Amino acid sequence: MERTPPDRGRVIESYQDGVGAIRALAEQAGDWDAPTPCADWRLIDLAGHLRCVAENFLEYLQDAPDSRLAKLFAQDAASAVLIRQQARQNAAELAVLPAEPGPARIMAFGVSAGAYADLMADMWDRTHLIYKGTKYTVGDHAGAACVEWHLHAWDMARAIGTRYRPRDPDLLVSAWHWGVPHLPLESGDSWEAVLRSSGRSPRWPDPGENAGRTRGRRAGRAAARGSATIPGGSAGKPVR
């Protein structure tokens, strides 16, 4: 598919929508030990992952184009290798997080995600990373971040027993093609395509569907795209 960049204004709006959705859903959460569509992750774990990823995104933005993420992608490694490396990073960061309640983790997420939003508009056209000879800008990564936040908003919604669908799923499809260069996207309904390509079951936790994403399944689909392995985000456990 031809890489057509998503509209800047729509990306910024979708980014804010995703952050806002996560914060609003967290306010509805009662049981932070509830299972999520990400196999082996409780809601408290997902909150920790969100905190770590938002902090990483901010770091990568501040260090662009010389961030540790850019150095990883500069290796031009296969998708499966990138996914494994990011999955290990995600697991290690989550393991060393201090014990803290879910709302505190979401508050920390909001601080870093907000700081990222404050910086990204002025840095929009700066090189974020180069992968297999193609330059990806800060704007490209901002689109990938939108995908990350909306996917995890859906995870949170399912964990607390409600539904979630972003306002602009077509933007997320465009952002995926533009900002997630190493993973393919399935066809079909825009939002369900994003969910399935990220290794999620849109019907979770229906008995007829797989009850969650295992690390192996995600890595396998990601090699197909799988997961969304959002650059710097979910790569394995949810990832991006």
Give one DSSP letter per residue of 33-89, joined into a string.
T-B-SBTT-BHHHHHHHHHHHHHHHHHHHHHTTSSHHHHHHTT---HHHHHHHHHHH
| Lowest model confidence (mean pLDDT) among 53-57, 140-144, 178-182, 212-216 | 212-216
At 24 the pLDDT is 98
Tell me the β-bridge partners of 131: 134
Helices (H) and strands (E) counted in the chain, each on its own, are 9, 2
pLDDT (tens digit per residue) in 103-123: 999 999 999 999 999 999 999
Tokens of 213: 């994403």
pLDDT (tens digit per residue) in 119-128: 999 999 999 9
pLDDT (tens digit per residue) in 43-59: 999 999 999 999 999 99
Residue 39 banded pLDDT, cuts 50, 70, 90:
confident
At 87 the pLDDT is 85
Tokens of 45: 């774990």
pLDDT (tens digit per residue) in 171-209: 999 999 888 766 788 888 999 999 999 989 999 987 554
What mean pLDDT value characterizes the chain? Answer: 85
- Rounded Cα distance between 46 and 177, Å, is 25
At 141 the pLDDT is 94
Q: Are 240 and 234 in contact (CB under 8 A)?
A: yes
Cα–Cα distance list, 208 to 10, 162, 187, 214 (Å): 36, 19, 21, 16
